[in-house]
Chain A
């Protein structure tokens, strides 16, 4: 993936910047330019506003990957999950700071900012979200990783949604 192609999505990948339809209230991640929920979906054009997810969620499905995607070979086996956020959107991401085999459906998790992969020795390093388990008290158990989203460099603009 080219540097520009990854870089232009960093506000979303670093800060969980989604969008919200002010016509019907539905939240999207990644941001959408047009709302699929609005019956006459043109009514949502120019009514989508930036919306940041809290980063909390619950695992609704998971797998342990042994045959890695390119750039993830050094991480196998790794857990990959679908995480449903309380705001609505479901995100795909790695589940870390837990034995991959211990991930379950229903596990409460929180997004954390991590290195995703490197593009070879001289390529760009990709950063973004992974998910880490919350313990029973809801407190982030690991000392590693930031739970506070990095401040946005600029506001996410909905017109770049899911390019």
Chain B
């Protein structure tokens, strides 16, 4: 296995992109990443595309060859593979691209993530995305994704004394960061009172505890580290790429308040990179719901179990804190185009590690972590990225 580097990144605006098709956003991100990597399409060996539900959302399957075709690359006859893992589809595609390059079988690949959620009504999009939970034993009984996370939240509050305000602070932070990201779905700031006072979705979670349904695409170009300097002065090494899975349904977890897929994926990633959570300066984590962010901070190993609420309140994860989370605005403010999320997280980390994150820059960041979660935690993908000197 050889070292793999991120050579280029690209991302569309996230949001309700009524005037743009899946095809358009898919190639925009990919072409940006190719240009950024100073690579010609002739150099490519393959395309991996993360997407959760194109069949249900845009009545289109075989989207990997479709994007290849729209990008003008059909005659290259490159292998193009779609990867699905619910909301973790993007990072799962990245893992596949990583394996392909690390193995030596491919040299340069594009990994994209794209989702188009606004071509169907909101309620339909919510129903389709809830299929990342167990449709036969959760959804059929009246569960939704926010309701399942609310069950986690209520139990977390009961067991650890986490408060409504602890949850709300996650959303306030996300919007503070999102306000500095020109690609973010939401750029408005929120007050604690606004989040707490917003209409309920599934108590204790309100509208502003939940990430939006967004359109968007993101892409990265990967290549072998030994060739990276030909393409960029600041190659970002993938220090770890790890996947872990768990039960589909919350009801079957060993602990309701613990994401074992995250615990295990993080453990494997830190082992692979021979690093520890304390070494991470920037992290993009799963704040699809405010509770999912708190639980993730615990299960990634940043804080002791049950302590994420108070630690978040102390500024541990904010600007100037030990580990700054979701400088992109996270899923909450940057947006949540399901299959694009995991790739966009890595795009943000690359910008941070290159020192190109402008107003959002965490000074001196050298190690970043991305955590992408499918459903309520059936899949977690953790990547560690490192600035190579």
Contacts and interface: CB of A to CB of B under 8 A. Distances in A.
Interface of A: 1, 5-6, 9, 13, 30, 60-70, 72, 75, 77-78, 80-82, 89-94, 105, 116-117, 126, 128-130, 162-163
A12 B158 CA distance: 31
Contact of A72 (B142, B148, B150, B155): B142
Nearest to B154: A61
Contacts of B139: 69
Interface string B142-162: 111011101111110010000
B136 A105 contact: no
Interface in B112-171: 123, 126-127, 130, 134-144, 146-148, 150-155, 158
B30 to A, nearest CB: 34
A84 B134 CA distance: 18
A63 B150 contact: yes
Given A63-B150, A162-B136, A78 B142 contact: yes
Contacts of B144: 65, 67-69
A143 to B, nearest CB: 23
A93 B252 CA distance: 14
Interface string B37-65: 00000000000000000000000000000
A92 B137 contact: yes
Given A60-B155, A61-B256, A75-B142, A69 B150 contact: no
A69 B252 contact: no
A30 B152 contact: no
Given A9-B136, A67-B202, A80 B251 contact: no
B203 A82 contact: no
Interface of B: 123, 126-127, 130, 134-144, 146-148, 150-155, 158, 199-205, 248-252, 256
B123 A92 contact: no
Of listed A81, A162, A163, residue having the most chain B CB within 10 A: A162
Contacts of A65: 142, 144, 147, 150, 201-202
Given A69-B143, A92-B141, 6 more contacts: A61-B158, A67-B201, A75-B142, A117-B142, A126-B140, A162-B136
Contacts of B202: 63-67, 80
Contacts of B152: 61
A70 B151 contact: no
A88 to B, nearest CB: 11
Contacts of A129: 141
A82 B256 contact: yes
22 contacts: A5-B136, A6-B140, A13-B140, A60-B256, A63-B151, A63-B154, A65-B142, A65-B201, A65-B202, A67-B126, A67-B201, A69-B142, A70-B123, A82-B155, A82-B250, A82-B256, A91-B251, A92-B148, A92-B251, A93-B141, A105-B158, A162-B136
A43 B140 CA distance: 32
Given A82-B250, A162-B137, A62 B142 contact: no
A63 B140 CA distance: 16
Nearest to A64: B203
Contacts, number: 109
Nearest to B207: A67
A80 B140 contact: no
Nearest to A89: B251
B203 A116 contact: no
A155 to B, nearest CB: 19
Nearest 7 pairs of A and B residues by beta carbon: A63-B150, A61-B155, A90-B251, A64-B203, A61-B151, A67-B201, A70-B127
A105 B157 CA distance: 11
B255 to A, nearest CB: 11
A116 B141 contact: yes
Of listed B130, B141, B250, residue having the most chain A CB within 10 A: B141
Contacts of B201: 65-67
A38 B17 CA distance: 50
A16 B77 CA distance: 52
A1 to B, nearest CB: 7
B280 to A, nearest CB: 30
B128 to A, nearest CB: 10
Contacts of A82: 151, 155, 250-251, 256
B284 to A, nearest CB: 26
Contacts of B135: 1
Of listed A82, A89, A90, residue having the most chain B CB within 10 A: A82
A91 B252 CA distance: 9
Contacts of B200: 64, 66, 77
A72 to B, nearest CB: 5
B154 A92 contact: no
B130 to A, nearest CB: 7
